[in-house]
Amino acid sequence: MDKGNRPIQIRAFNCICSLVLISALIYILAAGLEKVAATLIVVSIISAAAPVVYAGGSVLEIFVGFLEALLEGVMLIVEGVTNILSSIFG
36-81, pLDDT tens digit by residue? Answer: 888 888 888 888 777 777 777 788 887 888 888 888 888 888 888 8
- Per-residue pLDDT of 1-40, as tens digits, reads 555 677 888 778 877 888 888 888 888 888 888 888 888 8
Closest CA to 2 of 65, 83, 88: 65
pTM for this prediction: 0.66
* Integer CA distances (angstroms), 27 to 19, 21, 24, 32, 83, in order: 12, 10, 5, 7, 25
Rg (CA), the chain: 15
